[in-house]
Amino acid sequence: MSNRLDDGAATLTLGPRRWLLDRPYVMGVVNVTPDSFSDCSKPLNFEKSLKEALTMIDDGADIIDVGGESSRPGASSVSDDEELRRVLPLVEALVVRDVAVSVDTVKPVVMKAAIDAGAVMVNDIQALQAPEALSVVARSQAAVCLMHMQGAPRTMQEAPVYDDVVAEVKAFLSVRASALEAAGVARERIVLDPGFGFGKTVDHNLALMRSLPELVALGYPVLAGWSRKSTLGHLTGRAVDERLAASIAASLAAVAQGAAIVRVHDVRETVDALRVWCTMAPRQFPKAKEKPKG
Residue 157 CB partners (closer than 8 Å, separation 6+) = 73, 74, 197, 199
Long-range Cβ contact pairs of 20-24 (< 8 A, separation 24 or more):
21/221, 21/260, 21/285, 22/285, 23/278, 24/255, 24/259, 24/260, 24/261, 24/262, 24/274, 24/278, 24/283
Is 229 one of the catalytic residues? yes
Is 112 one of the catalytic residues? no
Q: Does 123 bind ligand 9MG (CB under 6 A)?
A: yes
Residue 214 CB partners (closer than 8 Å, separation 6+) = 166, 170
| Site for ligand 9MG, residues 136 to 175, rule: CB under 6 A | 145, 147
Of the residues 125, 156, 190, 254, which one makes contact with ligand 9MG according to CB under 6 A: 125
Smallest separation (angstroms) from ligand 9MG to the CB of 246: 15
Q: Does 114 bind ligand 9MG (CB under 6 A)?
A: no
Of the residues 3, 13, 45, 71, which one makes contact with ligand 9MG according to CB under 6 A: 71
Find the part of the chain contacting ligand 9MG (CB under 6 A) among 75-83, 89-97, 190-198, 211-219.
Answer: 190-198
Phi-psi category of residue 118: left, alpha or beta, with phi > 0 → left and psi -120 to 50 → alpha: left
Q: Does 52 bind ligand 9MG (CB under 6 A)?
A: no
CA distances to 124, 125, 184, 234 from 180, rounded to whole Å, are 13, 15, 6, 36
Sign of CA dihedral 202, 207, 210, 211: negative
Using alpha carbons, select from 213, 146, 216 the residue that is nearest to residue 179: 146
Evaluate whether 93 touches 67 at the Cβ level (below 8 Å): no
Write the interaction track for ligand 9MG spanning residues 80-109; mark x where CB under 6 A is met and - where it is not.
Answer: ------------------------x-----
The catalytically annotated residue of 210, 229, 243, 275 is 229
Find the part of the chain contacting ligand 9MG (CB under 6 A) among 55-63, 77-85, 191-199, 286-294.
Answer: 191-199
Residue nearest to ligand 9MG (CB): 225
Of the residues 14, 90, 117, 223, which one makes contact with ligand 9MG according to CB under 6 A: 223
The catalytically annotated residue of 263, 287, 289, 291 is 263
Contact residues toward ligand 9MG (CB under 6 A) are 67, 71, 104, 123, 125, 145, 147, 193, 195-196, 223, 225, 263
Q: Which residues are tagged catalytic?
A: 229, 263
